[in-house]
Amino acid sequence: MAVEASPPTMFSPWPDRLRHSAIVLLVAGLALVALVVFGELSPTRAAIAFVFIAGAALVPWRLHDVVASREEVLGVNPVEAPAVRAIIAGMPDPAVLLDRAGRVIHLNAAAAQLAPALRKNELAQFALRSPEIITALREAIATTEPRRATYLDHVPVDRWMELTIAPVSVPTAFGGTDYCMLMTFHDQTPLRRVEEMRADFVANASHELRTPLAALSGFIDTLQGPAKDDAKARERFLGIMHAQATRMARLIDDLLSLSRVELSAHVRPDTLVDILPIIRQVGDGLEPLAAERNVKIEMDLPETPVSIAGDREELLRLFENLIENALKYGASGGRVAVSLTSAVTAEGVPEVRVAVRDFGPGIAPEHLPRLTERFYRVDVGDSRAQGGTGLGLSLVKHILNRHRGRLLIESVPKNGATFTAAFPQVKAPSVT
Ligand code: ADP
């Protein structure tokens, strides 16, 4: 697309115009000579007639030239100026400048990419597909008022675009005012996604809280009514109610932890902490669960301290979630291996990696990319039965992001899963 091509000029170049006058004068001169030769006209009259004809041929051209050169100096259409073209070309969003009729004067490369059918000096209405744009453009042209429209663009991928049309008043060469339209496009897709995620999150959180709440109020009704004097039922129901209340408390706890980590996401922890005692403390704390599930926790950790820049409380939550998941979902493997190694990324960044490996059923590959989404669970029933909230791995990811680390998930179905928390290594090499 010829985005940079200069507009065709309205006037023919100088030599062309002189040639036209010369031809007129030559023909007139020959005709007058013929009339004199044939005695139809006296030489004096022929000379006077030639002067008039020459005047008629040259003076309008001259006048025209004066007007033309004045307009050229002032700029026939000021918005066609190279400066305006450069401004449009330099705009970061797709931008198109149209004349009052909707004809394209300038467009930048981003606009040419967004709407490849747009051509300079052609009507934009014919090149734009979306009815929302065409309606907004028509209205802006008719009213010279700004217009906004939002539409879904399907090519090359689905994107929510916002279009703004701002009429710009432009002074004309002879003191009047004309309008042109500045049309800019803005990609709203990331904003929409965040908005959708927020709405989903609120819906999921309410649903997750409402389920145990409904169970609790159901049991309260039963205990106040039919099971009022049934001591055995009361014991059983109180046990279930306790489990539901614990689940609600855990969910609220996870939600608060998530929002705390998110709030401080931009501040990287700067305190040096030795992660070995943290991992050991988590392992010790989960021993009762491991014993209950008949799983052995094997720790393969170095003897010397391994320091990273970290937040102790958040690291406790992180390892607790990873090891607890391995014990809950990988119990059938009978063992969970926790190991620490140092490694270097493909970009050459040295890392401290803590891997939590189980030997359980593993996770099907299609679930892997979504595991860290809030409330995403491979099997909702299984997760609930294990007292899960669906927020654990999301919290892990956020904690790692804050630590400028990353989470690696590998799994072979039927052969367990490995969740690796990788942290950037601090300068002094502490892992041996
Ligand atoms: P939950 O509270 O449900 O455990 P998480 O965010 O911690 O939530 O985990 C999300 C889902 O990932 C779990 O519901 C489970 O389906 C799956 N998952 C996590 N860890 C493992 C694992 N070690 N083995 C198999 N599945 C796992």
pLDDT tens digits, 38-50: 888 888 888 888 8
CA of 385: how far to CAs of 251, 294, 379, 391, in Å?
A: 14, 17, 10, 15
* Cα distance between residue 296 and residue 336, in whole Å: 6
Q: Structural domain of residue 173, as residue ranges?
A: 79-187
- Which domain CATH number covers 335? 3.30.565.10
Are 84 and 71 found together in one domain?
no
Q: Is 108 in the pocket of ligand 1 (CB under 6 A)?
A: no
Distance 100 CA to ligand 1 centre (A): 60
3-class secondary-structure state, position 120: coil
Higher model confidence: residue 22 or residue 331?
Answer: 331
Are 58 and 39 found together in one domain?
yes
Q: Is 407 in the pocket of ligand 1 (CB under 6 A)?
A: no
Structure confidence at residue 145 as a pLDDT band (50, 70, 90): very high
Q: Is 416 in the pocket of ligand 1 (CB under 6 A)?
A: no
Q: Is 411 in the pocket of ligand 1 (CB under 6 A)?
A: no
- Which domain CATH number covers 237? 1.10.287.130
pLDDT at 11 over 70: no
pLDDT > 70: percent of the chain:
90
What residue owns the CA closest to ligand 1's atom 13? Answer: 377
* Cα distance between residue 258 and residue 251, in whole Å: 10
Are 398 and 275 found together in one domain?
yes
Residue 340 belongs to some domain of the structure = yes
Higher model confidence: residue 11 or residue 16?
Answer: 16
Residue 5 belongs to some domain of the structure = no
Q: What is the CA radius of gyration of the chain?
A: 40
Q: Which atom of ligand 1 is nearest to the CA of 393?
A: 6
Are 139 and 23 found together in one domain?
no
Are 329 and 424 found together in one domain?
yes
* Cα distance between residue 244 and residue 321, in whole Å: 20
Q: Which atom of ligand 1 is nearest to the CA of 321?
A: 7
Are 217 and 253 found together in one domain?
yes
Give the pLDDT confidence of 360-390 residue by residue, as tens digits: 999 999 999 999 999 999 998 888 888 888 9
Residue 230 belongs to some domain of the structure = yes
Q: Is 329 in the pocket of ligand 1 (CB under 6 A)?
A: yes
Residue 8 belongs to some domain of the structure = no
- Which among 263, 295, 319 is the end of a domain? 263
Phi/psi of residue 106, nearest 5 degrees: -135, 150
Distance 392 CA to ligand 1 centre (A): 8
Average pLDDT of the chain?
Answer: 87
**Per-residue model confidence (pLDDT) at position 12:** 40
Are 70 and 104 found together in one domain?
no
Give the pLDDT confidence of 223-257 residue by residue, as tens digits: 998 888 888 989 999 999 999 999 899 999 999 99
- Write the burial class of residue 94 (CB in 10 Å: 0-12 exposed, 13-18 middle, 19+ buried): buried
Distance 370 CA to ligand 1 centre (A): 11
- Which among 146, 167, 187 is the end of a domain? 187
Distance 357 CA to ligand 1 centre (A): 13
Residue 9 belongs to some domain of the structure = no
Distance 389 CA to ligand 1 centre (A): 9
Which of 332, 314, 331 is closest to 268 using CA atoms? 314
- Which domain CATH number covers 160? 3.30.450.20
pLDDT at 30 over 70: yes
Are 86 and 26 found together in one domain?
no
Lowest mean pLDDT among 23-37, 84-98, 215-229: 23-37
Q: Is 94 in the pocket of ligand 1 (CB under 6 A)?
A: no
Give the pLDDT confidence of 278-296 residue by residue, as tens digits: 999 999 999 999 999 999 9
Are 363 and 386 found together in one domain?
yes
pLDDT at 72 over 70: no
Residue 3 belongs to some domain of the structure = no
Give the pLDDT confidence of 147-193 residue by residue, as tens digits: 999 998 887 778 899 999 999 988 876 777 888 999 999 999 999 98
pTM (2 d.p.): 0.64
Are 206 and 159 found together in one domain?
no
**Do residues 417 and 409 make contact, with C-beta atoms less than 8 angstroms apart?**
yes
- Which among 229, 246, 263 is the end of a domain? 263
pLDDT at 88 over 70: yes
What residue owns the CA closest to ligand 1's atom 8? Answer: 390
Q: Directed axis angle between helix 189-224 and helix 231-263, to 10°?
A: 160
Distance 377 CA to ligand 1 centre (A): 6
Q: Is 253 in the pocket of ligand 1 (CB under 6 A)?
A: no
CA angle 114, 118, 123 (to 5 degrees): 140
**Per-residue model confidence (pLDDT) at position 64:** 52
What residue owns the CA closest to ligand 1's atom 10? Answer: 377
Q: Which atom of ligand 1 is nearest to the CA of 384?
A: 3
Q: Is 363 in the pocket of ligand 1 (CB under 6 A)?
A: yes
Mutate to test the pocket of ligand 1, among 383, 397, 420 (most ligand atoms within 8 A of CB): 383
* Cα distance between residue 23 and residue 29, in whole Å: 10
Distance 391 CA to ligand 1 centre (A): 9
Residue 1 belongs to some domain of the structure = no
Are 256 and 286 found together in one domain?
no
Q: Which atom of ligand 1 is nearest to the CA of 360?
A: 24
Number of structural domains in the chain = 4
Residue 408 belongs to some domain of the structure = yes
**Per-residue model confidence (pLDDT) at position 7:** 38
Are 327 and 197 found together in one domain?
no
